[in-house]
């Protein structure tokens, strides 16, 4: 399994000279989802164990972000399987690890590095930016919205400062939180949240 993942990764890296904006094929079939991300399961599991992040959440985000295409690139320069922006999430993780600069485009097209950085960023959101949210499912929703739209944008929906926002969130039921989120974020963030949740429930 390890060898297969590494070989597949090398073939992708050597075999593609120019990244392409490839249209995502979004399916809600469990079989299709598993087939799409099968080659990255080894890297996903390793990152999940390393950072103590829900494996299903990583898989769901990968599927929604890139449909398992390691060379996916958005118009806003989000790169690879987990659509990492070098100057945003990439920079945050480099700073967290006391590394200078930010990850290169070449690094982010590497499935192992991309998944590692993306999962590390999910942990950063949960263990620092959103720390204090008590309900696990609400934390999952908050993490998903923060991943696509930023933590500040999410917390400002509830209050001007982080502490008050999280305190308010902790008074809410799951249903109330989700209904509240539906009224406030951008359509893109809401659409993203709903897609990730659907995939999460399927896998």
pLDDT in tens, 147-164: 999 999 999 999 999 999
Show which of 112, 129, 146 is a domain's final residue.
129
How high is the pLDDT of residue 66? Answer: 95
The rounded distance, in Å, linking the Cα atoms of 62 and 39 is 12
Residues 40 and 115 in one domain: yes
Low-confidence stretches of the chain (pLDDT < 50) are 10-23
- The domain in which residue 175 lies consists of 133-203
Residue-level pLDDT at 140: 97
- In this structure, the answer to whether residues 53 and 125 fall within a common structural domain is yes
Residues 125 and 148 in one domain: no
Residue 30 and residue 125 share a domain:
yes
pLDDT digits (tens, 9 = 90+) for 31-48: 999 999 999 999 999 999
Rounded CA gap, 160 and 11, in Å?
Answer: 48
What's the half-sphere exposure (Cβ side, CA atoms, 13 Å) at 182? 7
Q: Are residues 95 and 33 in the same domain?
A: yes
* Crossing angle of helices 30-37 and 187-202, rounded to 10°: 100
Quote the pLDDT of residue 1: 55
* CATH number of the structural domain spanning residue 152: 1.10.530.10
């Amino acid at each position: 399994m390890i060898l297969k993942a590494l070989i597949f990764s090398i073939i992708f890296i050597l075999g593609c000279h120019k990244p392409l904006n490839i249209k995502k094929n979004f399916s809600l079939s469990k079989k299709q989802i598993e087939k799409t991300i099968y080659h990255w399961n080894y890297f996903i599991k390793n990152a999940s164990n390393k950072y103590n992040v829900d494996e299903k959440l990583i898989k769901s985000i990968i599927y929604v972000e890139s449909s398992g295409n390691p060379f996916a690139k958005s118009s806003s320069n989000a790169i690879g399987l987990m659509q990492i922006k070098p100057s945003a999430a990439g920079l945050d993780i480099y700073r967290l690890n006391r590394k200078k600069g930010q990850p290169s485009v070449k690094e982010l097209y590497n499935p192992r590095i991309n998944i590692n950085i993306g999962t590390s960023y999910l942990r950063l959101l949960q263990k620092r930016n959103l720390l204090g949210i008590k309900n696990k499912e609400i934390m999952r929703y908050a993490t998903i919205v923060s991943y696509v739209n930023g933590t500040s944008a999410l917390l400002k929906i509830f209050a001007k400062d982080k502490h008050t926002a999280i305190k308010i969130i902790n008074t809410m039921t799951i249903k109330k939180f989700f209904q509240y989120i539906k009224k406030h974020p951008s359509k893109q963030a809401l659409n993203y949240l709903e897609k990730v949740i659907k995939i999460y429930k399927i896998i």
